Amino acid sequence: MSEAILTAKNLKRHYEVKGGFLKPDATVRALDGASFTLTPGKTLAVVGESGSGKSTLARVVTMIEPPTEGDLIIGGRKIGPEGASGDRDLRAMVQIVFQDPYGSLNPRQTIGQTLMEPLLLNRPEVSAAERETRARDMLAMVGLRPEHFERYPHMFSGGQRQRVAVARALMLEPKILVLDEPVSALDLSIQSQVLNLLMDLQERMDLAYLFISHDLSVVRHIADEVLVLYLGQPVEIGPKQAIFEAPRHPYTKALLSATPVADPALRKERIKLEGELPSPMNKPQGCSFNPRCWRRQDVCTKVEPELQGQGHCFACHNPIPLDETEAA
């Protein structure tokens, strides 16, 4: 296995919420202790429901926001609470593709300008002609036509815009690409085109992907490793095979079971989760999943479980036994 390009250890991001009149200040633990590594050519998928801290993780890894606590080491360099401001080389290493292809392109810039902007800002030594050549090459690489260079985003469909967004992210030759729900706003027939493009590019450029998604069928297809987040905390992390075929954490199992399968012959009894995600401002005592868990024991309401295991880790006092998982 090749060397890790990014290592996160116990990464936390908290937000202070100013209390109003008669209300105390509160801390939102949007991301609360995530550890993982990214390797060139591999994809780590992050799954979880809304409010699980997926997007916060994306913002921290992209250095849009500094971590409150924990270590983030990118390409051998440490990013502390002061962030990475001003360090162009470091910033260029991690780029991001957003979910909404309609909001992520500047409507007043042509596709060409959008693609050339990162070079203009970060590589002043590159001449204007060279910039244009590189942008045009990138346009071809993501499967768009040369005449698209002069056009404005409103003339493009969602799938084409997402290709442009990918192209822009790759202009600085990053090592890591954070994909924040890159296909969930796209139609099914377009989704597969974009997924194929992403897989091709990864292979060609040896990119490390942090693939954030709530769609488990997409994750199952594209991921090498999966990290399951619940209320900002990792509840399970491991190789894709293990997570999908032998989930140990009840939440992972419930998530898998709730995901509809596109085969009417396989209609099955789902594990029904009671209730909804609690507010991250006021997490339950002990294991944060315990109010919704059907395997809850006394200890779960008191003691917060630690991530345990090697390779395939999970944070649960009463994990699903290995022989039981086969049925899933």
Task: Name residues contacting other proteins, limited to 266-295 (CB under 8 A).
Answer: 266-267, 270, 272-273, 276-277
128-141 helix and 158-170 helix, angle to the nearest 10 degrees:
130
Which H or E run includes 202?
helix 188-205
By CB under 8 A, name the one of 199, 205, 307, 328 that touches other proteins.
199
User: Contact with other proteins (CB under 8 A): which of 22, 265, 322, 327?
Assistant: 265
Residues binding other proteins: number (CB under 8 A): 74
Per-residue contact track with other proteins, 28 to 57, x per CB under 8 A? ---------------------xx-------
User: Is residue 327 part of the contact set for other proteins (CB under 8 A)?
Assistant: no
When the beta carbons of 168 and 175 are compared against other proteins, the nearer one is 168
Contact 60, 6 (CB under 8 A): no
Which region, judged by CB under 8 A, interacts with other proteins, from 31-39, 148-156, 280-288, 306-314? 148-156
Which amino acid, 154?
Answer: H
Tokens at 90, concatenated: 């470091």
Position among 75, 112, 143, 284 found at the interface with other proteins (CB under 8 A): 143
The 8-class DSSP code of residue 219 comes to H
Cα–Cα distance for residue pair 52/14, rounded to 1 Å: 13
172 lines the binding site for other proteins (CB under 8 A): yes
Binding test (CB under 8 A) with other proteins, winner from 26, 64, 126, 205:
64
Q: Which residues of 262-284 are buried (b: 16+ CB within 10 A; e: fewer)?
A: eeeeeeeeeeebeeebeebeebe
Nearest distance from residue 310's CB to other proteins, in Å?
A: 27
29 CB-contact burial (10 Å; exposed 0-12 / middle 13-18 / buried 19+): buried
Stretch that binds other proteins, among 22-30, 130-138, 151-159, 280-288 (CB under 8 A): 151-159
Residue 103 in the binding site for other proteins (CB under 8 A): yes
DSSP 8-state secondary structure symbol assigned to residue 34: E
In angstroms, give the least distance from the CB of 4 to other proteins. Answer: 21
